[in-house]
Each structure stands twice: as structure tokens, then as C-alpha cells.
Amino acid sequence: MVSKAKSVVLYGLDGILVEVETDVAKGEEKFDIVGLPDTAVKESKDRVRSAIKNTSGTFPYTSITVNLAPADVKKEGANLDLPIAVALLKALNNKLIRDVGSTVIVGELSLEGALRPVSGILPITLFAKKQGFKNILLPAENAKEASLVDGINILAAEDLKKVIAYLSGEEIAPYPFSEFTADTDVEYPNDLKYVKGQYAVKRALEVAVSGGHNMLMIGAPGSGKTMLAKCIPSIIPDMTFEEALETTAIHSVYGSLDKREGVVRMRPFVTPHHTATNIALVGGGQSVKPGLISLAHNGVLYLDEMPEYTRQTLECLRQPLEDRVITVSRAKGNVKYPADFMLVTSMNPCPCGNYGSKVLECRCSESQIRKYRAKISGPLLDRIDIQVHVDNVEYDKLVSKEQEESSAVVRRRVNKARLVQRERFKNDGILCNAQMGEKELAKYCVLSENDEKLLKRSFEALGMSARARSRILKVARTIADLDYSENIGRKHLLEAIGYRNSGFEN
């Protein structure tokens, strides 16, 4: 007798519907799985056998064939354990009358029959809903993550026993849909209120975060670049539901999702070490997993000591910075992962770090400094909107008791500025100022005649390249948004010019 169950496996973030067919026949005892299973799927027969035996007491001595359709797609992972078990149970026991034709079933089994959580539940649930399924049967620990999706019944089970009860007609109460709320009242370990002075950098951070602008901090060792960067999560704008869904889906596939939390509420802040390989950064590997830049989707990718990264690694970032998506191509096929992150980088002014210091002597030769800076290519610099210097803070200031503005206050301003942007771009398909293209620039960044002249003059006076124009306009737009100004005013423009990316002259 043949019976069927439906499940979903993921390829990248895309779901593939898998039909699990089991056939039980008399004959020599065997248990075969066909339909391009990978090792984890092949091994699932042993887990299924033990789980069923330990739950219902027996496992029949019959000839069992399991087919995973479509037969030409490679299936990976352990989330097919449960659908195989369900299909098999239904084939063995005709008392299990529940129709599972409109239910997607996923889950990993333990030997004693308990259900283990699987990764990628959110994209699977979204896919199931899109395909018109009414229910999804999954391990209880995954329920919270799945419950972000509205319009599909989440049936959570702790173990196979409960699944068998469900199949024989008992009901499982659907897990309630949980409304997404951004985390607002979190105590961040790094708060701007602990950073003394550095007003210029703090302001630049605020502007960068508000508009999603890529940023470069240049400063001597110990000037506080890393500390300032670590404050970014505390001022970063709240995520919208759509953003949270996208980000959670990637983290879910990557396997880095907190199962109890079930959703990524805070914008990710990813800090790869400079020894990270290109693949680790952009994604790839055997099962074409997302890379760190995709983990930083809708969040921040922070590269500390940028010139320490290999040039090749840095160049890998260029295309995703432009397209906000990374396509990982392998012989198996192409996988697209979103990678819309804000790039924050820091570097020393020279290898020893003291170039330009008023107190310490720089020990580097001119050519050393040149080589150090040449590691960062022009095209990459072109994608950095804001460049700011971080000074060493004087001792007196460091120990002063003066109260600094806290991150919460800054964050409120940032949130408002983001709201303005979201409202403005709601028909343009973008979210923040940094994403503006030429079309949006022409539409939203109109300068008065006088300001246009000022900008032209400043290009001549400061020796900027013409490519700097769009960067300055984008930043000026953000500064105007922070000021609730509909148009870009002179002061906004002037401040934006101050953050210009001057490259590395001298």
C-alpha cells in the first residue's frame, strides 16, 4: 500500500515541495530511500525505524520503499524524518485516517521519538503558505519562529506520539500567530553615553545610521574606533516586519537563529575577522550556505582594520554593495541571497598608526603608508559615503563626569529620520537614502540655484571628483531628514560636504 506526505526542503532561501511516498510490501525485510537523498536523508531510515519502534512498540518486518519526489532534486538535511515517518505510519496502519494532503510536515526525529527543531523553518512556512497549504506540522521548538507567518495553521508536536494521536483524529490546537514587535527596551552593553567627547564622529555615526550610508573611520590605535562601532547596534533604527522576516529567514537557513526567540528582532551586527575566507563572507560551500554579508542583511557589516583584509576579500564586497544581493553560483545551480547591509569600516592612518598624531612619532616610510592605503581600492572607496577621522581623546576628558547623550536619545532621532525616508520612498521600492539611484536623486535631492553653485565651487576648491556628487547629495538628504526639512538646505549641504570621502591624498 502506498501513502503520501508532503514536505519542503530549501535550496538557498527557496523552497522545493517534496512529496514523500512510501510503499509497504510483503517480502524480504528492507528499508530503502530513493530520490536523490543526501547522507543525512539516507540515515533518516535508522532514526525513523527507532523512533517508531520506541513510540509504538513494534516495527514491522516488511519491505519498505520510500521515494522522494521530484526525483531529480538533491534533498538535504534531516527535516524529512517526520514526513517519512508519517507516510510510513499511514501506510502501515489504516486507523490513521487523518488526511495530510494539505499539510506540510517537517521535523527531525530522535531515536526515542522526540521531535528536534530544524533550521530554515521561517522560509519553509512562508513557502508553504504561498503554495496554499492550510497546515504545517512541525517540532514544538520551531513553532515560535513559524508563528510569524499569518494565514497558516501551525501545528506543533513535541514527539511522534502526539503526531500519531493527531493522525488518528485528535486535534492539535494551532499555535497562535505572534505579532512582530521590534526590541526597543534593550540594555546595550555599548552605549554612546559611555563615549566621552568625539562629537564629530558621533554625529557622523548618527547620520550614517539614519540613511544607511557606508562609512569609514580613520584613526590612531586606541582612539576608540572599535568602541564607537560597537555602539552602532544601540542607535540603529528598528526593523520593520518585512525586514525582520527577510533577516530571520537567512539566519534560519544559516542555522544561527535563536530557537527560543524564533525571530531576529535586532538588526544584525556582523564583525568578520580579517582572516575570514571569501566563501565565508559571500556564501557558498557544499550546501551553498549564506555568507556573513547575508547574515548582515538589513544590518551592519563591520570590518575593523580594513587594510588587514586581503584585497580579494574586499573586492568581493563590491558587487553586493552595488546590487544589495549576492548570487552564489555553483555547479549545482545559482542561489541568490539578499545582502543589503550597511558597511562600516575602520582603519589606521598608517601601519604603525601614528601618522598625523600630534604626540607620537610615525615610524613608517612614505612608501609603506602608500602601500597600506593602496590596499583599499578606488571602486570600494567610491561606495563609502561618509569618511570621518577619529581623534585621540585627551585624558582629562576621559575622566570627566559630564553626562553624554545616551544612545536611546540618538536612536529616537534615527528612527524618526528612517520613518521619513520610508514614507518618501514607499513607491520607489527602496528603504533609505543610501539606496537612492540617479532617478531618486533627481527627484528628491533638488538643490536651490545658489546651493548648486556652492556645490560646484566646493568641488573646485576641495578638488573632489565628480563621482563624489551623488554621495554628497545622498548624505545631505539624510541630514535634511534628521532636521525634518523637506528640501536640502545650505547647512545640510555644507555638513554633507564635510563628510566627503576625500580618498587618501597626501
Partner 1 sequence: MYTKDELAIIVLDSMLGLEYKHKINILAAVKRPSDLFDKEAAGRVAFSVIGENKANTVASAFNDDYAGFILEKCEKRGTKVITKISEGYPSEYVNVFMPPLCLYCNGDERLLSKDKKFAIVGSRKCSPEMLALTTDFAAEISSAGGIIVTGSAGGADSAAIKGALDSGSVISVVAGGIDHVYPEFNRRLIEKVENSALVISEQPPEYEVKPWLFPMRNRLIAGLSKGVLITGGKLDSGARHTATFALDDGKEVFAFPYPPRSAIGALCNSLIKNSGAALCDDVNDILSFLGLERKEEEKTELEGDELSVFKLIKEGVEDADAILEKTGMKMFELAPVLTSLELQGLIVKLSGNSYKAV
Q: Which of 174, 221, 356, 503 binds partner 1 (CB under 8 A)?
A: 356
Q: Do the strands 135-139 and 153-157 form a parallel or antiparallel pair, or are they unpaired? A: parallel
Tell me the window of 121-129, 282-290, 299-307, 483-491 that interacts with partner 1 (CB under 8 A).
Answer: 483-491
Is 212 among the residues that bind partner 1 (CB under 8 A)? no
- What minimum distance in Å lies between the beta carbon of 504 and partner 1? 10
Q: Which of 84, 201, 239, 445 binds partner 1 (CB under 8 A)?
A: 201
Is 442 among the residues that bind partner 1 (CB under 8 A)? no
Q: 3-state SS of 237-303? A: CCCCHHHHHHHHHHHHHHCCCCCCCCCCCCCCEECCCCCCCHHHHHEECCCCEECHHHHCCCCEEEE
- What minimum distance in Å lies between the beta carbon of 421 and partner 1? 18
Cβ nearer to partner 1, comparing 45 with 492: 492
Is 208 among the residues that bind partner 1 (CB under 8 A)? no
Three-class SS state of 158 = coil
Is 466 among the residues that bind partner 1 (CB under 8 A)? no
Q: Tell me whether residue 173 is exposed, middle or buried, using C-beta atoms within 10 angstroms of its C-beta: 0 to 12, 13 to 18, 19 or more.
A: exposed
Cβ nearer to partner 1, comparing 150 with 505: 505
Residues 361-380, one symbol each (x = binds partner 1 by CB under 8 A, - = not), give xx-xxx--xx----------
Is 197 among the residues that bind partner 1 (CB under 8 A)? yes
Question: How is the beta sheet containing 269-270 ordered, strand by strand?
Answer: 269-270, 300-303, 342-347, 215-219, 386-390
8-state DSSP, 65:
E
Site residue total, partner 1 (CB under 8 A): 42
**Residue length of the chain:** 506
8-state DSSP, 506:
-
CA neighbor of 119 nearest in space, from 314, 278, 253: 253
How far apart (Å, rounded) are the C-alpha atoms in residues 52 and 89? Answer: 8
Is 397 among the residues that bind partner 1 (CB under 8 A)? yes
Tell me the window of 11-19, 32-40, 178-186, 452-460 that interacts with partner 1 (CB under 8 A).
Answer: 452-460
Cβ nearer to partner 1, comparing 29 with 394: 394
- What minimum distance in Å lies between the beta carbon of 407 and partner 1? 16
Q: Which of 276, 280, 408, 494 binds partner 1 (CB under 8 A)?
A: 494
Cβ nearer to partner 1, comparing 130 with 490: 490
Is 202 among the residues that bind partner 1 (CB under 8 A)? yes
Q: 3-state SS of 92-152? A: HCCCCCCCCCCEEECCEECCCCEEECCCCHHHHHHHHHHCCCCEEEEEHHHHHHHCCCCCC
Q: Which helix (H) or strand (E) holds 484?
A: none
How far apart (Å, rounded) are the C-alpha atoms in residues 289 and 279? Answer: 9
Q: Which of residues 217-246 bind partner 1 (CB under 8 A)?
A: 219
Place of cell 564629530: 200
Q: Which residues bind partner 1 (CB under 8 A)?
A: 197-203, 219, 349, 355-358, 361-362, 364-366, 369-370, 388-391, 397, 454, 457-458, 461-462, 479, 482-483, 490-495, 497-498, 506
